[in-house]
Amino acid sequence: MTEKIDEMIERMQNDYIKFVRLQFVDIHGVPKSIALPSKPEEMESLFHDGLLFDGSSIEGFADISSSDLLLKPDINTYSPLSWRPEESATCRFICDICTSDGDPYPGDPRSLLKNALKDLDKKGYTYNIGPEPEFYILDEDNLGYPIPSDNASNFDVDPADKGVDFRRELSLNLEELNFKIEANHHEVGPGQNEISFKFDDALITADAVITYKQAIKAIVNNIAEFNNQKYSVTFMPKPFNGVEGSGMHCHQSLFKNGKNVFADPDAEYGLSDKGLYFIGGLLKHAFPLTAITNPTVNSYKRLVPGYEAPVHISYGLKNRSALIRVPAAFGESTRIEYRSPDPTCNPYLAFTAMLAAGMDGIKNKIEPGEPVNYNLFELSEEELESNGINPLPASLWEAYHSLENSELLMNALGPQIGNKFLDAKYAEWDDYRVQVFNYEQRKYLDI
């Protein structure tokens, strides 16, 4: 370990690093950081011993009576931040959170996922996941209100697509942060964009999602400031009425001994029994799982018919109206796509929960039934009910009440994170339900 630390300190010097950011997330997945001057003589102690901080100031963490926590940098997450000025070059380490005694802290979302993957490794599996976080680039109208940056749609090109230059610059910067960019394009909504990156181990991917969102916001902000523009970025699930929301579809697969255990070329759908059981587990637990994958009041304004987001608990082959889609990919590329998550979820919690649901399916051999091969959006509620297809939660209220009664998912989150997460959702719903909106004023003031 000492040799690795010495190599890292030398690398930081070669990269002319002046400041170090120690990054972690709160219970919502919002990135937090503490910045330190990069002094070689102090780095060894930092990597060995960590940095003490006040955990009571972070939502979902420690109480004020036991607030001393340690940030322990994961040396494998070193990354210079490409959007910071060269004259004050800054790097980032993602941290695990420990108690003051050095033990893993049970309220740390990253440690939760790490522990779940360690347990999975004991069974011989690795869990790979590839998310697709969508986002809107925003402009401002004459009154300073946010509006989409263009009126383009899916796969449009410039000049209608005004995100071309942004996506090019974003892709180049993300590659400097070690992202393996696969493609970028304009999405369905006006001003909506997507930059996809490659599959990886679930922990690496969760780290990447946090970095991705932070980097995109910072880079677009820098471009806008440089050009005296007012562009910004939002990952809000439904930023505008009447247009498509932003999702984070999660492609996922299990590997064992280097082989994709979801793949079976001789099976009817190219999916092994374990692949089908994994789908069965996700479907069984989909209702409470939605509280974690879609954790805001606004999330449920995306999960409505007519805007390509899933609404009903079902799976299908290449069927984008279903909650789970099985893409037309075979062999080692065989995977399933869970389509309800949105970019506001905490990826460490969401990946842990999806893994728990899927592995419950494998453990108990939960059959998913037959895939749906029709457009679910075209069926009436009566037709859906007669086919045994149930809806996803219609509100955060429904979702979190279902989560609190889910023994599997509450066990997966652990008592500290599970209870703190529910407390936060109760508070969010209570805050939302007492608000009075413009819609209500327009509809009811004259009654």
Of 7, 10, 49, 54, which one is the catalytic site residue? Answer: 54
Q: Which of 286, 383, 386 is nearest to 336 (CA)?
A: 286
Catalytic residue (one of 26, 96, 108, 134): 134
Please identify which of the residues 339, 342, 360, 401 carries the catalytic annotation.
Answer: 339
Residue 134 is a catalytic residue: yes
Catalytic-labelled residue, pool 26, 132, 156, 264: 132
Known active-site residue 187? yes
Integer Rg of the chain from CA: 22
Contacts of 90 (CB under 8 A, 6+ apart): 17, 18, 19, 20, 21, 35, 80, 81, 84
3-state secondary structure of 93: strand
Question: What does each C-alpha distance from 323 to 145, 286, 316, 359 come to in angstroms?
Answer: 34, 9, 8, 18
Q: Mark whether 249 is an active-site residue.
A: yes
User: Which residue reads 């082959």 in tokens?
Assistant: 317
7 is known as an active-site residue: no
Q: How far is C-alpha 87 from the chain's CA centre?
A: 32
* Active-site residue (options: 161, 337, 342, 360): 337
- List C-alpha distances in Å: 223 to 134, 139, 168: 19, 13, 12
Q: Out of 156, 187, 207, 360, pick the active-site residue.
A: 187
What is the distance between the alpha carbons of residues 113 and 180, in angstroms, rounded to a whole number? 22
3-state secondary structure 160-207: CCCCHHHHHHHHHHHHHCCCCEEEEEECCCCCEEEEEECCEEHHHHHH
The one catalytic residue in 249, 325, 335, 401 is: 249
Rounded CA separation 210/376 (Å)? 33
For 306-332, letters b (16+ CB in 10 Å) and e give: ebbbbbbbbbbbebebbbbbbeeeeee
Tell me how crowded residue 294 is: count the other CB atoms within 10 A of its CB: 26
DSSP tag of 391: B
Nearest Cα to Cα of residue 349 among 116, 133, 158: 116
3 in active site = no
Whether 337 is a known active-site residue: answer yes
**Is 440 annotated as catalytic?**
no
**Among the options 96, 156, 194, 360, which is catalytic?**
194
| Cβ count near 425 (within 10 Å) | 23
Q: Choosing from 169, 185, 320, 428, which is the catalytic residue?
A: 320
What positions carry a catalytic annotation?
A: 54, 132, 134, 187, 194, 249, 320, 337, 339
